[in-house]
Amino acid sequence: MFLIWGLLVTAALANANDLVGTWTTKSRDVLTGPGFYDPLNDKLLEPNLTGISYSFDDDGNYESAYYRAISNPVDPSCPGGIMQWQHGSYTVFGNGTLILTPIAVDGRQLLSDPCRQQSGQYTRYNTTEEFKEFSVYIDKFNRIKRLDLTKFDGSLVHPMFLAYQPPKMLPTTTLNPMPTGHKQKRELSSKESGVYLVAREQLVNPDRWWWLGVLMTSLGGVAFFCS
């Protein structure tokens, strides 16, 4: 029994070692570190292209950066965008499961819809990520290390490729402790560079925007058919 447990632990450690580095999607424009999030000025820095990046160190710390476009079916020439940044600790279990636990007060999300609002909505962001499994191997086309993350529903995150080793990360400790009292109220209502830091519950779930787009497109088709 102890031998089996030891083998599982050894396998988990080996897989965890495979994760170490900074990984990014094909655009290579989104990378973790100070080029995506500026903790001193508390702002997200918009890359030129969308993408995803994850970094892992050998001490159990991780960092993630997301930049996605949100389609606008009413005006396709005016899409929205969402940026998300988190960091915290990760755990690799013997069965290959990967759990990312963020530092709750540090995560940030910027949701922008330039055709509806002149300013983006900037909020704290805190979401634990769970992956059923992951694999690291040499991509046969690009000839570099590739990371595949599989969610529990079986879907795959966009493939990522090794960009830096050791990883490119911000400090792994808490960067922006939660303010208290009047300071907290001022921060939540601050306005800098057209970006508002608002309470999380005021945000609409961006995944719902896709369904709204489908509904609007369907209604448009019905109206055209009936006209």
Residue type, 73: P
Same-domain status, 158 and 96: yes
Report pLDDT for 71.
Answer: 78
| CA 81 – CA 182 distance, rounded (Å) | 31
Long-range contacts of residues 27-31, Cβ cutoff 8 Å, at least 24 apart: 27/51, 28/161, 28/163, 30/65, 30/66, 30/67, 31/65, 31/163, 31/164, 31/168
Report pLDDT for 6.
Answer: 43
Q: Is residue 176 part of a domain?
A: no
**pLDDT, mean of residues 136-164:** 95
Q: What is the pTM of this model?
A: 0.75
Same-domain status, 134 and 207: no
Q: Who wins on pLDDT, 118 or 149?
A: 149
Same-domain status, 133 and 70: yes
Among candidate residues 109, 140, 162, the one where a domain is terminated? 162
Which pLDDT band holds residue 91 (cuts at 50, 70, 90)?
very high
| CA 63 – CA 95 distance, rounded (Å) | 22
Q: Is residue 146 part of a domain?
A: yes
Q: Is residue 175 part of a domain?
A: no
Q: Is residue 213 part of a domain?
A: yes
**pLDDT, mean of residues 23-51:** 95
| CA 122 – CA 107 distance, rounded (Å) | 11
Residue type, 66: Y
Structural domain that includes position 145: 14-162
Among candidate residues 106, 137, 162, the one where a domain is terminated? 162
